[in-house]
Amino acid sequence: MSKGFSFIITKKDKKARRGEISCAHGKIQTPAFMPVGTLATVKAMKNRDVEACGADIILGNVYHLMLRPGSDLIEKFGGLHKFMNWPKPILTDSGGFQVMSLSSIRKITDDGVEFSSHIDGSKHFLSPERSIQIQHQLDSDITMIFDECVKYPATFDEAAKAVERSNAWAKRSKEAFVAREGYGIFGIQQGSTYKDLREISSKALIDIGFDGYAIGGLAVGEGQEIMFEVLDYAVDFLPQEKPRYLMGVGKPSDIVGAVLRGVDMFDCVIPTRSGRTAQAFVRPEIEGGVINIRNAKYREDEKPLDENCGCYACQNHSRAYLHHLTKSQEILSAMLLTEHNLFYYQDLMREIRKAIEDGALEEYARKFDVFDENSLQ
Amino acid sequence: MSKGFSFIITKKDKKARRGEISCAHGKIQTPAFMPVGTLATVKAMKNRDVEACGADIILGNVYHLMLRPGSDLIEKFGGLHKFMNWPKPILTDSGGFQVMSLSSIRKITDDGVEFSSHIDGSKHFLSPERSIQIQHQLDSDITMIFDECVKYPATFDEAAKAVERSNAWAKRSKEAFVAREGYGIFGIQQGSTYKDLREISSKALIDIGFDGYAIGGLAVGEGQEIMFEVLDYAVDFLPQEKPRYLMGVGKPSDIVGAVLRGVDMFDCVIPTRSGRTAQAFVRPEIEGGVINIRNAKYREDEKPLDENCGCYACQNHSRAYLHHLTKSQEILSAMLLTEHNLFYYQDLMREIRKAIEDGALEEYARKFDVFDENSLQ
């Protein structure tokens, strides 16, 4: 669609796809996990280390960046890549989700959303046109349309109204998008847990035409079982030849299950946030896949988090040392656990891509059955 | 003195000395600055990056480590080097200073100090014998004697009593020290701002015989002018052929001035603590030597902290980006500013060593006259 922005599928394994996105700042191997860099930083990580984990792309947030440091400043520095010195691709979220979840005193009209900053209460306005303009200032490789997210659970009527408004906003978003070689814009399918609405939403987006399609309104409290039920049909409404992006997902087992259902891209704060709250992800065969390093049982544990992990923390430090750092509230705990988690997530994606290439994703996915839905505290 | 522990002076420039300490875990180029790794971590730094800054040795604290994670646990891991995975030399402070400055409910007798932990109020006891034993458990390359520090200002009588007790404790510390090849023990000169007491303290320590001599009881609020006055005579009471260590110092201008007066080793929390409170040290010709990156004037500043600095932050990021991270309270701000400051301090020591080799330290030191005593907020 957009010139110089492409997606090729190199291998399929049932519904799962192995592919590659090419965009202005480089290539993205899919299925891909995008670390979240909300405020122009992947929290507690140097960019050099984010890259070393294997991330091809990170995510930035219109909502946060328009408040701090402001999109005009970032534009003045030549865009977000240059401002934060991350030369590889960036996808930016449009702010639609954050104005609903973070800001207060919202006034939603067909025109857009008026809201107060969660930082200082100052008044701001976001509309499809304004969000797309900000993403242009940020020089985002992948712009997301500005949509209206409904909370979960939502009645059919609430969800239908949000789909209707989001479709109108999708059209305005596309019209506001300035085409440049290598830059793409993605639509966002909404419709809550209603199959009919997911279909209506998809058709409208496909009519407008986008470079990729996100699935929004999931991972908002419905649980993995319902999410997978929705994905079972929601993905089929989207074009085969375009990348599919499940927003805000998730735990390792969520990601594996979604790839099995045909999803190509993910983003989530779980690996970074967990790194700041003492939780480390490990292969599912170890401790059920999650280690809470604060637990007293690790006090004298000489093993690394995961003996097969190649990250800096696992190559250099014991669980006992990480336990000590965490109990002592040392910044290094957040640094090492975050890096481990991001490395683990990229390892997971490498393994998923390999499994698809080998036609063995279902077998690989079976390892994740041990995951307890409630294992992440 | 101790077998396998040596100090050679390779060059003198008036009172300043260029030297090299050899100890169990490696060599230390002097004059040397030791980053403080209180709780088995140099705060907000990976060991790999501490080493890359050029540090030959770091400091650990008996007081903190005996409380968390406990010296028995560290011994079980084979010592502090192995527990924290820092293979190079470590000096440990004996706890004498911290029991006075951090703990509460102290009872001091000739035997030792009973105190309550600043963390949970639990009761603990430190004596010369216990402190030296803990430093043995930590496998410290350089053990410090357990002494009594007086507050500043102290009357002559208060200071004299502390010197008397410290001399007795110095003897007990030396007796408790288990000699091993490459491991050394340093005495600590006390005496507040009283020349006679500094002389008495030194003579007693020299009689006992140590591998190096620290100057304690300075940088406790007396100010640079008085500190330099004391150093002018205090250093002369110490042996020429042993390393001299000025404890808890200091700002760059303090260090340069102390090296001019014959000091070889330093430790201080200033570069690390400042990194967590938005302050960056730069060459004195830039902004007077200290940048408070929170200042609004850096909001759009595209320059690095210091164009001639080789640290990761200066090689990769602008002041504007660091300003944004700091205003946003991002962990990455503490990480980047700490690394910059430690790199700056090691650069300072490299320049000082070079200036001594070139016989040009006085000229080099003149740059630091621009330092305002009150420039560090």
CA distance B211 to chain A (A): 31
Take residue A136 and report the two structure tokens written for it.
């242009």
Q: CB–CB of B320 and A85 under 8 A? A: no
B13 is catalytic: no
**A153-167 pLDDT per residue, tens:** 999 999 999 999 999
**Degrees, nearest 5: CA angle B25-B30-B33:** 80
What pLDDT was estimated at residue A375? 40
What pLDDT was estimated at residue A1? 65
Take residue B212 and report the two structure tokens written for it.
């190096």
Burial zone of B36 (CB within 10 Å; 0-12 exposed, 13-18 middle, 19+ buried)? buried
Report chain A residues whose CB lies below 8 A from the CB of B296.
none
Mutate one of A61, A273, A335 to test the B interface: name it (highest B CB count within 10 A): A335
Q: Which parts of chain B have pLDDT scores under 70? A: 1, 370-377
Distance CA B252, CA B152 (A): 22
Strands B113-116 and B90-93 turn out to be unpaired
> What does pLDDT average to over chain A?
95
Query: Which residues, 6+ apart, have CB-to-CB distance to B80 below 8 Å?
Result: B40, B60, B65, B74, B86, B90, B92, B138, B139, B140
**B109-161 pLDDT per residue, tens:** 999 999 999 899 999 999 999 999 999 999 999 999 999 988 899 999 999 99
Q: CB–CB of A43 and B77 under 8 A? A: no
CA distance A74 to chain B (A): 9
**A198-229 pLDDT per residue, tens:** 999 999 999 999 999 999 999 999 999 999 99
Report chain A residues whose CB lies below 8 A from the CB of B324.
39-40, 68-69, 83
Query: Which residues, 6+ apart, have CB-to-CB distance to A48 below 8 Å?
Result: B312, B316
The count of other CB atoms within 10 Å of the CB of residue A376 is: 17
Query: Among the residues of chain A, which ranges form H helices?
Result: 47-53, 62-67, 71-76, 80-84, 96-101, 128-138, 156-176, 195-208, 224-234, 252-260, 270-275, 312-316, 319-327, 331-357, 361-366
Place of tokens 């993605």: A186
Characterize A20-41 residue by residue with b for buried, 16 or more Cβ atoms within 10 angstroms of its Cβ, and e for exposed. bbbbbbeebbbbbbbbbbbbbb
> A109 by DSSP, 3-state: which?
coil
**Degrees, nearest 5: CA angle A147-A152-A158:** 60
pLDDT mean over A18-36: 98
Report chain B residues whose CB lies below 8 A from the CB of A323.
69
* Angle formed by the axes of helices B252-260 and B331-357, nearest 10°: 20
Q: CB–CB of A39 and B328 under 8 A? A: yes
Chain B residues at the A interface, defined by Cβ less than 8 Å, are: 39-41, 43-48, 68-69, 73, 76-77, 83-85, 276, 299-300, 302, 312, 316-318, 320-321, 323-325, 327-328, 330-332, 334-336
| Marked catalytic residue, from A13, A49, A56, A93 | A93
Mutate one of B36, B38, B39 to test the A interface: name it (highest A CB count within 10 A): B39
Q: What is the DSSP letter of A36?
A: B
Distance CA B216, CA B60 (A): 17
What pLDDT was estimated at residue A373? 46
In angstroms, the Cα distances linking B171 to B97, B245, B247 are: 18, 19, 20
CA of A72: which chain B residue's CA is closest?
B300
What pLDDT was estimated at residue B373? 46
Q: CB–CB of B330 and A84 under 8 A? A: no
pLDDT mean over A250-269: 98
- Give A167-171's long-range contacts (Cβ < 8 A, gap of 24+): A167/A200, A167/A201, A167/A204, A167/A205, A168/A110, A169/A127, A169/A128, A169/A145, A170/A128, A170/A145, A170/A204, A170/A205, A170/A208, A171/A208
Residue A101 pLDDT greater than 90, yes or no: no
Q: CB–CB of A336 and B84 under 8 A? A: no
| Marked catalytic residue, from B13, B56, B93, B141 | B93
CA of A338: which chain B residue's CA is closest?
B331
Answer for the pair B145, B185: CB distance below 8 angstroms, yes or no. yes
Q: CB–CB of A45 and B73 under 8 A? A: no
**B214-272 pLDDT per residue, tens:** 999 999 999 999 999 999 999 999 999 999 999 999 999 999 999 999 999 999 999 99
Take residue B7 and report the two structure tokens written for it.
């100090």
* Nearest by Cα to A313 from B84, B271, B40: B84
* Nearest by Cα to A22 from A6, A10, A9, A41: A6
The continuous run of DSSP H or E covering B66 comes out as: helix B62-67
Answer for the pair A189, A202: CB distance below 8 angstroms, yes or no. yes
What pLDDT was estimated at residue B7? 98
CA distance A193 to chain B (A): 36
Instruction: Verify cis geometry, omega within 30 degrees of 0, for the bond prior to B304.
Output: no
In angstroms, the Cα distances linking A105 to A116, A134, A155, B224 are: 6, 22, 22, 54
Query: Which residues, 6+ apart, have CB-to-CB distance to A173 below 8 Å?
Result: A94, A128, A131, A132, A143, A145, A146, A185
pLDDT band at A371, cuts 50/70/90? very low
Phi, psi of B114 (to 5 degrees): -100, 130
CA distance B76 to chain A (A): 9
What pLDDT was estimated at residue B1? 65
The answer to whether the predicted template modeling score (pTM) of the entire model surpasses 0.90 is yes
Q: Which of B40, B48, B325 shows the shortest C-beta gap to A324?
A: B40
Query: Which residues, 6+ apart, have CB-to-CB distance to B307 below 8 Å?
Result: B314
Report chain A residues whose CB lies below 8 A from the CB of B83.
318, 320-321
CA distance A69 to chain B (A): 6
Q: Which of B69, B85, B316 shows the shortest C-beta gap to A324?
A: B69
* Nearest by Cα to A348 from A276, A244, A253, A228: A253
A13 is catalytic: no
Report chain A residues whose CB lies below 8 A from the CB of B72.
none
CA of B333: which chain A residue's CA is closest?
A44
Report chain B residues whose CB lies below 8 A from the CB of A69.
299, 320, 323-324, 327
Strands A142-144 and A184-189 turn out to be parallel
pLDDT-above-90 percentage for chain B: 92
> B174 by DSSP, 3-state: which?
helix
